[in-house]
Structure 1
């Protein structure tokens, strides 16, 4: 026999039920006036009402028993060959070629080489379509062997009724038919005669970690799965998922949670470190404060904190000596410094001195303090001064100054214009003691009116005989960004008048600017609209971003500092239609930009989960998350009482387009539709069927064979009262029994055997 699923103990079988062979394990049980046969193993059956094709034979076996016989050892072959009657066309068994491979159809297992029982030269494949197998019973040669035949030929059906029906081994193991009994081969994680016990693992008690467990077969038992998570700032030591194994051990050690560590910090040079630790030295939550000694400044953060990522909130700071402004030797002087912690830093000392003819103005030495300032202002070496000289009236003064106006080393020469006479020294020199050599001269000359520079312009004059006197020449110029109108130069003439007219400086103009589309323009004008010095700032409306410079300035050549910018709509991420759905968008300023609106919809049988539409905002984000299309769900179906349910799910359990097929156990009939389909409305196409008890199917068969007289005989043989009541019950229901003829062979039966003739067969009672 093949290993077929089934009940742990065989069901009770009427001894007169069919032409059958009970293979071992039979016990008689008496209840009232009727004797039943308890069968503790599988039973063989065959019919003698004509022959069947292979498919018809299998339908016959599946209708009244389990399936065509599946043979698992030589003992069964010997038993069948001994017990079955000879039939010229022999018997079909449950092997068929599927996809080119010989397969036991009842168990869907491939025929192995060591289990083959072919007759000599078989399977021969000399003719096509020899895909079914017969067994030679009581054949003169090679009795009990197999032969492949065309499935369309007609032979007897050799059936079996299995012990393993319908839910053996607690559904935690495989039911294996054995001679006279069966055994349960338990799946990993289960044990016991009926695989009724589940393996237990030790209960987990994690320290510091959050545990979440699922227990499909009981708390902390086989296949229980526990996941572990740590709080922020803590990391798991060990695997995050544990599973109870068939060995009663967990798949790994229980993990723990420890605080995440940060790199160890140390005090900076010339500084100090002060830390507080919550969960351990330099771990998550630790805070460290830094400080520096007097005269040193902290470069970096004053405090750092260890974060959940194992990093500090910044880089470690350092202490650097506070710097003072760099000193340099004064002109005509010298500087001599000593530095403790770096050039011109805290503690540095500098001494100053001056050359001959110069005097030190300020402190002779300075020191850099902790405040970053010197103890005083830097001194200067100033040339010793002489009294200021001036040109004589109607004359000129021409001086050269080495170290400053009218100071040590300055030389002044005097001269007079034509018509003017000089009295005094022609030149004088400033000495180291602060006095001029010689006496001051005098000149008389003609003067012109004093001139001044135009607005936004400059005046540069040369005086031959004194300020704005005869011979004086004045040149005019405009500042950058201004253009001159009028005379560029003027001269003081002998009559005391200037040549030409007074000039003016007017600002240079730039092209007029305008605001960009979807933007604004804001200008400030110093010297007139869109002229030199004018500054224009650009901005964009909400939802638009400026592409180009934020501001432009009118330059001296009359051009702006750059090209005018533009305002472009802010973009959002590109959207796509959800699976089983559609996307319809409208765009105001460009594909998936500010103001774009996208609507979502789903195909028939699906419902939208999320917003029906999204809009691109001024921040470049959508107003929500992209929705999904999920299949519409129908109510979950359960198998009917005494029946089975088989479903196929396209989009998820009991959702749109799921199809469920119902069937009933042997002895029950199905009332209602066989197949239900989940529609787009979320409802099943029909109501689930039910399984109703068939009205005494076997007695129907008996009654179908008999007339009134035969029923009376059967009533006497089967102890009248019970059979009469059964006959009346069937009669009241209006049921009929099919005409099926059987032979029964019993072995090891106790009690008296009574045989009653019926149409085409016998009824046996123990």
Structure 2
């Protein structure tokens, strides 16, 4: 027995045992032999073991193509002839998908040719039976079909398809037949295996153009596309792209390239036109030259050419009378011409003048001569000049000159050096009259107002540039018993202002005093201003002793010579009678009290805490006061909260909450619907640290993996290893195989959860 327990904890031996168990299982699976009947290219197969419809399909897909897909009644007769009888019959590959019976392997709907339902079928029980069986060698209805619940166990009737990936050259639909297949070629292809493509007649490259066809060996086969283009100056007439259709005919005739035409041109009035046409009249490559009669000149381009775009290189020119070039009004001035309309021809005259602040430089009147020339150039308007402005003594000037140095529109800004202030205008402008807007300013030294010593204080000043002038500094101090209210130092700034207001000296006062409890207070200052030198005397009622100084005095620092005293005395009969209400230990908590004068008497202190899983809400300590009342409020213990759980469908959850929802002590149990397994712990609890004992489980369909089974069944796996180590593995495997042959469902969630449960729900699932 000791050797068995030791082996349970040996991880290496654990893996050896599991591997051995797997090998034994797969060896047993070999005996689930497969029978088959071959018919030329398409073969039928069936299993000797019965499975659910889903497992039967997985079996067929793993070993063959899929569950059989039936195309006609001839095929049904063949299957009924070659497949042996089995009492529970066989599953075939058809299911109801979206209220329509469909062959799952080919994804084709059921046709009238193949339909072979038994009498009163399908759905004679009106309970949504979605899977179909075939009555092989049935005495009453051979080869007929019946819809059944998909979970029932029947043999799998499989087939291996004749059609392969390369069947029909991938250029046609492969159609299965009994013992062979046929090809239904896609449009544009022909031949037994659709290996040939339809060919179109050859195409020719258009004159003055090009043709591009992506095909090999000059074969214009189905699907070939040819693209056409023309040389510059020629336009494509017809389709730019043609394609070889499935009928062997091009989608359009081959296009042609025609020369591009430009619009017709005519000679301008008072002029002539001479053209050359190398290809066609006014077509691509044509060129035309234009000339005007004496006294006129060409307006526009004198030579045009027809471009490849079908447009002339410029608009048609015109012939216009020779005139003087246009004149522009001078900047900052105006121009007036006579006559005012039409071209500036012979005898036209123009006069000029300038705006305010400007004077005319040049002729104020010009005329257009018969040669198209003006008698003088156009004049300009020059800004008026103001006199130069120098910088003031102890100052600076900064000027902007938009129209020239110190001319009309110039602006100058003046500033003074530190310690001086400006007398006069700070900004001057050069006006339209040629004069400045104000006389130039000056810089004068800055002076501050004279200061006086504060009452009950003194003032000491340093004045390097004279009395109350810039850079003067004054320092203030107060007599004994007075304190300074305001700045201790003032400086005279460059602007002629002190850095602050002059300070004052205020009498120093000590804080207000109060008589001690059970005592009295008497002060020398009856007005209670409590200034420097004020003295106060403390005394206690009869029977009490003064603790501290009985006399205090207000010092120059504004503080008393000693802190206020208190009145103390022995415990009298009155104080011994002080009693606070009894305190109760909070639920799920603790209380510890220190009693000074009897239970819950004066100065009794009680301390509170909570048990594990609970948190104290309120004061952790309370003391009995002379008034007979406790300090603070009544504390309480509240259960620690865990995170809220939300059940994941289709699972269900049932929780008990003794101290509140999802609090310490809460336990939750989880369930899954029939046919699904719980992945995780079935029961979890809220712990004292506010964490759940395990992660929330979930429901999953189908069998568990080896790792999930080991996690889920826990101790059961350890028990299994122990039994295997002690020599019982072979017996358990024989029992498992025998139960499987007897029809026990491998997906039943109610299977034994001990040693047998590990095998049925984990590594030894019999599915393909």
Is this a same-fold pair by TM over 0.5? no
Higher RCO by CA contacts (8 Å cutoff, separation 6 or greater): 1
TM-score (norm 1): 0.39
Of Structure 1 and Structure 2, which has the larger fraction of its residues in helix?
2
